[in-house]
Amino acid sequence: MNAETMSSKHGLAAGLVPTRADWTIDQGWEHYSAQEHATWKTLFERQSRLLPGRACDEFVQGMRDLPIAADAIPDFRRLNDVLMQRTGWQVVAVPGLVPDEVFFEHLANRRFPSGHFIRKPHELDYLEEPDVFHDVFGHVPMLMNPAIADYIQAYGQGGLRAQKLGVLDKLARVYWYTVEFGLVQQKDGLRIYGAGIASSASETVFALDDASPNRVRFDLPRVMRTRYRIDDFQETYFVINHLDELLSLANIDFAPLYAQVQHQPEYAPGQVLPDDVVLTRGTGMYHDARRGG
Ligand code: HBI
Ligand code: FE
């Protein structure tokens, strides 16, 4: 699929969206409709009610410092004025999912690709591809934090290497269980830092409050071996003790670890291992019911 077919998928006539080699497009902020801004407002207000006491301190702080509000879909130019100053990151608009190597190349250069479109009102809780609410509300506040800023850049650089080594699936799991679905232990309890959780009302509650999922201490080789779900809530969430842990992850040479885990068996998403440091042993009820068990 190329950028043109992707953008036409979102209702834009192919050809109206200029296609660049790096897959970026203009956000076209002026072209959002009142309806689209209203969808943003609905999502923003829902998450703003849920996140106090659930999102980590750094997320809350990042959100506070950014020009992100309920009234309108943020203008990337205004976001970038603040974000660039703080951590040297910028947000660039893309029409949807972009090829892995394009994605990594952006991250390695401290550019975060964000979908420019917003989900339709009748599918507020369903996302086929990351939209502007997931990318901006979920990811951008964390990019204001220096540890996350360096970690995601290192992921981009590591992604290009992992691809050449044929071990991208292992690295993608680390991204998934940290940047997208990570939890962090803070002084008042478990908190969300993963964008996939922070941008989803139902998963915000499920990840922290539900008895069903496992909550297990993060361990790098263990996570590399753990498959994940893209179609539903996670069965296991991995917990770090401090965001600075990600900084040390950014400096680890993954190559010897790939060699080590490459021929070891994989773990199922809900599997709990004898060596796990288990914070919550989930009941598994939610996914069992869905499997008809
Ligand atoms: N493209 N726009 C966009 N956003 C993503 O999160 C993304 C992507 N392309 C590839 C990708 N993610 C992942 O599959 C990689 O992290 C492996
Ligand atoms: Fe994401």
Pocket test for ligand 1, best of 25, 97, 164, 180 (most atoms within 8 A of CB): 97
CA-proximal residue: ligand 1, atom 3 (nearest)? 97
Q: Is the CB of 100 under 6 A from ligand 1?
A: yes
Query: At 187, which amino acid appears?
Result: K
Which numbered atom of ligand 1 lies nearest the CA of 171? Answer: 17
Task: Of 202, 52, 199, give the one whose Cα is nearest residue 140.
Answer: 199
Q: Which residue has the tokens 């703003």?
A: 48
Q: In this predicted structure, what is the pLDDT of residue 9?
A: 39
What amino acid positions are annotated as catalytic residues? Answer: 134, 139, 180, 199
Digitized pLDDT (tens) for each residue of the chain, 293 residues in all: 343 334 433 444 444 555 799 999 999 999 999 999 999 999 999 999 999 999 999 999 999 999 999 999 999 999 999 999 999 999 999 999 999 999 999 999 999 999 999 999 999 987 889 999 999 999 999 999 999 999 999 999 999 999 999 999 999 999 999 999 999 999 999 999 999 999 999 999 999 999 999 999 999 999 999 999 999 999 999 999 999 999 889 889 999 999 999 999 999 999 999 999 999 999 999 999 998 86
Q: Is the CB of 103 under 6 A from ligand 1?
A: yes
Q: Is the CB of 172 under 6 A from ligand 1?
A: yes
- Nearest ligand to the C-alpha atom of residue 133: 2
Helix (H, G, I), strand (E, B) or coil at 138: helix
Q: Is the CB of 60 under 6 A from ligand 1?
A: no
Task: Of 261, 281, 194, 270, give the one whose Cα is nearest residue 229.
Answer: 270
* Alpha-carbon dihedral 49, 133, 218, 252, rounded to 10 degrees: -140
Cα of 98 vs centre of ligand 1, distance in Å, is 6
Pocket test for ligand 1, best of 2, 76, 94, 98 (most atoms within 8 A of CB): 98
Domain 22-290 indexed as CATH 1.10.800.10: yes
Burial class of residue 113 in the structure, from the number of CB atoms within 10 Å of its CB (0-12 exposed, 13-18 middle, 19+ buried): buried
Which numbered atom of ligand 1 lies nearest the CA of 113? Answer: 2
Two tokens, residue 75: 């203008």
Q: Where are the domains of the chain?
A: 22-290
HSE-CB for 196 with a 13 A CA cutoff? 23
Q: Is the CB of 98 under 6 A from ligand 1?
A: yes
Q: Is the CB of 113 under 6 A from ligand 1?
A: yes
Rounded CA separation 98/116 (Å): 13
Q: In this predicted structure, what is the pLDDT of residue 245?
A: 95
Q: Across-strand partners of 236?
A: 214
Rounded CA separation 116/210 (Å): 32
At CA 123, angle to CA 96 and CA 226, rounded to 5?
Answer: 65
**Whether the predicted interface score ipTM is above 0.95:** yes
pTM: 0.93
Task: Kindly tell me the sign of the dihedral angle through the C-alpha atoms of 223, 227, 229, 234.
Answer: negative
